[in-house]
Amino acid sequence: MQPFTTSRAGIATIAALALGLLLSSMPATAALAADDDTVGIAGAPADDSGADGRSRFTYAADPGQHIEDFYEVRNTGTVEQELTVFATDAFNNDDGGFALLDTEATPTDAGSWITVGGKKQVTVTLPAGGSKVLPVDLTVPADASPGDHAAGIVVSTVSPDGQVLVDRRVGSRLYVRVAGDLQPLLTITGMSPSYSPTINPFDGTTTVTYTVENAGNVALSASAVTGVRTFFGLETGQLVRTEVEEMLPGSTRALTVTVPGVGQWGYLNPYVRMIGKADGFIEAPIQETRRDVVMIVVPWTILAVIVLGVAIWLFVRWRRRRDEKNAAAWVAHTEAEARRKAEAESVPVPVGAPADDRTDR
């Protein structure tokens, strides 16, 4: 927003405070005052007599076609308000939401095709509770590219809040689908996995971060499935399903998904499967998008168990061999002693020799 100027209390410039754009998901969307609830505005698609229940403008048009419609603006507050109404381009913000250009930005796409009340920007003054129906004219350029073009019609009012001028804006979405070669196409342009082990070697989590791009010319939402495979294509862990909110043509979005229950199998193959969904009829088929990566996870817990098992086995084997060697030595010693005693007892005693003169041999 551009700064507003005031001469009160010697203040040269007061910056406009943007309270954000509330996009219409109801027939009319109101912006309420912060404290005393005396300022409020609303806008909605309409017919020539008033709001007609639509939540957004949606058109299918040919290049060069002219469309006429209506927009109702209302002062829902308790004081007279001067309202500014204009159209501008739409885009997806960093969080994936539907957003409109700043007030001072110049639209270059569908927002530039629209006039409200015969002007690019019109100002109306309404008493408290008053409303006005404005004509909306949309002319599709003859060289407009096929596919979806998004914009919004904005109602804005500037009012003081203490010593600050506040710009309150509400808006209604507007979609134009220009006839021609429709190309619904979502692609996964980047994918990065990471693994977090647990003490249990058959458990752990794989975190997959990937970037989705709407590389076609049709606004698409999507359903995605993220999983992990291991050797021979066997699934490990749980499948995680994710709903991707609407992406306008040319937009990108980064998503992060955590897959639980992934064992430490060494070789892991995280993957994402995604299929786009479009509002309305799409002549071209929507292809499923897939992408996967390979990651090597050292199974430290399993290796530790194996090393411990081998160590125990080697120790038991060494102990058994030692015991067998000691037992064999003892048997040999016992047998030798037995033979010696037997030999000693078998030596003959000379005739007439005293018993004490016997000599052991």
pLDDT band at 37 (very low <50, low <70, confident <90, very high): low
pLDDT band at 21 (very low <50, low <70, confident <90, very high): very low
What's the confidence (pLDDT) of residue 196?
A: 94
Place of tokens 């001028």: 165
**Assign residue 357 a region: left if phi > 0, alpha if psi is -120 to 50, beta otherwise?**
alpha
Q: Sign of dihedral through CA atoms 40, 44, 50, 51?
A: negative
pLDDT above 50 for 30: no
Query: Who's near 329: CB < 8 A, 6+ residues apart?
Result: none
Distance CA 253, CA 87 (A): 25
Summarize the confidence of residues 93-103 as an average pLDDT.
Answer: 89
pLDDT band at 356 (very low <50, low <70, confident <90, very high): low
Distance CA 141, CA 63 (A): 6
Within 10 Å of residue 133's Cβ, how many Cβ atoms?
16
When the pLDDT of each residue in the chain is averaged and rounded to a whole number, the result is 84
Distance CA 88, CA 63 (A): 19
pLDDT above 60 for 23: no
DSSP state, residue 120:
S
Token pair, residue 310, equals: 């081998």
Summarize the confidence of residues 103-118 as an average pLDDT.
Answer: 94
Supply the DSSP string of 250-289, one letter for each residue: T-EEEEEEEEE-----SEEEEEEEEEEE-SS--SS----E
CA 183 to chain centre: 24
Beta bridge partners of 224: 242, 274
Place of tokens 């979502």: 186
Beta bridge partners of 159: 166
Query: Who's near 315: CB < 8 A, 6+ residues apart?
Result: none
pLDDT above 90 for 111: yes
What's the confidence (pLDDT) of residue 342?
A: 81
Beta bridge partners of 73: 43, 132
**Least confident among 16-25, 112-121, 126-135:** 16-25
Summarize the confidence of residues 107-117 as an average pLDDT.
Answer: 96
Token pair, residue 277, equals: 């969904």
DSSP state, residue 247:
E
The residue ranking higher by pLDDT, 337 or 311, is: 311
First to last CA, the chain: 122
HSE-up (13 A, CA, CB side) for residue 258: 6
Distance CA 335, CA 339 (A): 6
**Least confident among 8-12, 48-52, 73-77, 335-339:** 8-12
pLDDT band at 350 (very low <50, low <70, confident <90, very high): low
Mapped onto helix, strand or coil, the DSSP state of residue 293 is coil
Within 10 Å of residue 285's Cβ, how many Cβ atoms?
7
Query: Which tens digits make up the pLDDT trace of 44-75?
Result: 999 999 999 999 999 999 999 999 999 999 99
Within 10 Å of residue 334's Cβ, how many Cβ atoms?
10
Distance CA 39, CA 58 (A): 29
The residue ranking higher by pLDDT, 298 or 221, is: 221
Decide: residue 335, CB within 10 A, 0-12 exposed, 13-18 middle, 19+ buried: exposed
pLDDT band at 287 (very low <50, low <70, confident <90, very high): confident
Summarize the confidence of residues 150-170 as an average pLDDT.
Answer: 85
Within 10 Å of residue 105's Cβ, how many Cβ atoms?
11
pLDDT above 50 for 4: no
Summarize the confidence of residues 347-360 as an average pLDDT.
Answer: 57
What's the confidence (pLDDT) of residue 336?
A: 82
Query: Which tens digits make up the pLDDT trace of 190-235?
Result: 899 999 998 888 899 999 999 999 999 999 999 999 999 999 999 9
Q: Could you tell me what percent of the chain has a pLDDT over 90?
A: 59
What's the confidence (pLDDT) of residue 96?
A: 87
The residue ranking higher by pLDDT, 31 or 286, is: 286
